[in-house]
Amino acid sequence: MSTSVNVNGIEFQPRLLINGEFVEASDKGTFNVINPATGEISCKVPEATEDDTNRAAAAAKAAQPAWAALDPTKRGAYLKKLAALLREHKSTLAHLEAISMGVPVSHYIHADMGADELDYFSEAWPHIQGQSSVNTPGYVAMTFRQPFGVVACIIPWNVPVYFFAAKAAAALITGNTVVLKSSEKAPLAVAYAAELITKAGFPPGVFNVLSGHGLPSGRCLARHMDVRALSFTGSSRTGKLIQEEAAKTNLKSVTLELGGKSPAIVFDDANIEQALSATMMSILVNSGQVCMANSRVYVQKSVAPKFIEAFTQRMAAVRGGNPLDPQTQMGPQADEVQYKNIMSYIEEGKKNGTLAVGGNGKLDETKGYFVEPTVFLNTPEDAKIMKEEIFGPVLNINTFETEEEVIAKANDTEFGLYAAVFTNDISRAMRMAKALESGYVSINCSSPTMGRDLPFGGYKGSGQGREGRLYSMDHFLEVKSVIIKLDEAKL
Ligand code: NAD
């Protein structure tokens, strides 16, 4: 049985939402959610079985025709209600996220971000448009855009409620029904958001929410013959497994938003103060657990000493704290696996580069999964910590002399999610933007800065497809060609 957690005097018991009902896992199985700041168990959460996953997919399949037939303004009205409820309950969602994946309550913006997406997509239905033409003599030709049917959304733990809302909103407004699986590291706020789905009055089966690990429920969704489209955000490793399952079963349409190893490039003509604060924030926000965090910083040689001195001094001053304390600016890593992973990369880094700041974990001292912000210098480009995603507050600063040299270094990676360039020379900025192999390029700012209406997604191993307000609905709409023969003899 799952157990409850007390949030501001209210008992909340996480359960699965299947066909409009809150249920335990069919075998009563659960898994523990650990508070990453204390190492204590926050609560026990249902581990969805294959049977639960199949029932959720069946409920979504049964509910889909009526949902797709509904006036889109009515579909939008449900999304709007859910957006309002996310905003209303954001302090509870913040608390639940703090005790599962450690984001400080002072920084909790995920509920507002998610609500904004729901609000946007609630009114986006007029953009569901086909085309028409009279280019085929004797015929009128047109296309329809229609829902796939059942869509699965598999989300990571770093910004859970945002992904919950953003993926589901685009899938639902286009007339699909949804089975969403949260991450085993951060299931609490999403399970609470599932209660808000029923409060918003969604018809049973339209929006189902499961908690559980990749195995069995995630894999079951990836293999499921009735799931026709799957939107995934997570690691490149899991993305490949999902793609493989889809290829072996029903060739469902898969969108992949995966990992990164993002470069930030600082030229000597840049505003150095601006570059310092932007690159620091990029690697520290969410304790470095952001797909687009600039984990490789390249600084032009003439300004490198000044940049490195200021950067390392400021990083050394950053301290982690309890995420429930409103003063805390940086929380722990999400869980033990993350912590151990990051610490092993730091040990690896010590073998190749020069450790300038940090390098220690604080588990023994604090019982929490805190890692010191860590800076390496001059690590060889082919070292493991320069090639693999660390997903923690760890970066390397290397130097360069020419544009050609830094473009080659920045692009020498299998990832391609986000690249930042700092320069006051507009032609150089544009040359760099053209040359960088990255789905996003920012000039004089760094991740997570994003344009509201721009697409987001990766080049190379960082993903397939683009998400965003003008893009996400495309993943959830089939295109049908319709041709009509005219009786032109009457003319
Ligand atoms: P993960 O791949 O371990 O897990 C993501 C989700 O996939 C979880 O819900 C997990 O349970 C599920 N899963 C695991 N194995 C599965 C399987 N075999 N079949 C189906 N589902 C399975 O990733 P994570 O640790 O939760 O998230 C961190 C990763 O996500 C990082 O690599 C980060 O860069 C990436 N990320 C990317 C973006 C983006 O937009 N590109 C955004 C956030 C995070």
Relative to the CA of 462, which ligand 1 atom is closest?
41
Q: ω into residue 448 within 30 of 0, thus cis? A: yes
305's enclosing H/E stretch is helix 304-316
Mean pLDDT of the chain: 97
Res 65 pLDDT > 80: yes
Report CA(35)–ligand 1 centroid distance (Å): 20
Report CA(393)–ligand 1 centroid distance (Å): 18
Relative to the CA of 185, which ligand 1 atom is closest?
26
Ligand 1 atom 42, closest CA: 291
Give the model's pLDDT for residue 340: 97
Relative to the CA of 292, which ligand 1 atom is closest?
34
Relative to the CA of 260, which ligand 1 atom is closest?
34
pLDDT band (50, 70, 90) for residue 118 = very high
Report CA(257)–ligand 1 centroid distance (Å): 9
Q: Which of 159, 181, 183, 459 to mutate to test the pocket of ligand 1 (most atoms within 8 A of CB)?
A: 183
Q: Tokens in use for 373?
A: 């912000």
pLDDT band (50, 70, 90) for residue 1 = confident
Ligand 1 atom 17, closest CA: 214
Q: Which residues are catalytic?
A: 257
Express each pLDDT in 330-373 by its tens digit: 999 999 999 999 999 999 999 999 999 999 999 999 999 999 99
Pocket of ligand 1 (CB under 6 A): 154-158, 181, 183-184, 213-214, 218-219, 222, 233-235, 238, 241-242, 257-260, 291, 389, 391, 417, 463
Ligand 1 atom 15, closest CA: 214
Ligand 1 atom 9, closest CA: 183
Report CA(101)–ligand 1 centroid distance (Å): 14
Give the gyration radius of the chain's Cα atoms.
24
Report CA(162)–ligand 1 centroid distance (Å): 14
Q: Which parts of 191-260 are beta strand (E)?
A: 207-210, 227-233, 253-257
Express each pLDDT in 414-458 by its tens digit: 999 999 999 999 999 999 999 999 999 999 999 999 999 999 999
**CA–CA dist 479, 109 (Å, integer):** 35
Ligand 1 atom 8, closest CA: 183
Inter-residue contact 182 to 190 (CB < 8 Å): yes
What is the pTM for the complete model shown? 0.97
Ligand 1 atom 14, closest CA: 214
Give the model's pLDDT for residue 251: 98
Mean pLDDT over 381-404 rounds to 98
**CA–CA dist 188, 180 (Å, integer):** 14
Percent of the chain with pLDDT over 70: 99
Relative to the CA of 259, which ligand 1 atom is closest?
34
Report CA(167)–ligand 1 centroid distance (Å): 14
Closest among 446, 39, 58, 71 to 280, alpha carbons compared: 446
CA–CA distances in Å: residue 14 to residues 154, 190, 257: 18, 9, 27
**CA–CA dist 163, 50 (Å, integer):** 23
Q: Tokens in use for 91?
A: 């302090």
Report CA(473)–ligand 1 centroid distance (Å): 21
Relative to the CA of 237, which ligand 1 atom is closest?
2
Ligand 1 atom 11, closest CA: 214
Q: Concatenated DSSP letters for 26-62? A: TT--EEEEE-TTT--EEEEEE---HHHHHHHHHHHHH
> What domains are defined for the chain?
5-258+465-478 (3.40.605.10), 263-457 (3.40.309.10)
Buried b (16+ CB within 10 A) or exposed e, 345-358: bbebbeebbeebbb
Question: Tokens 């490195």 — which residue?
Answer: 308
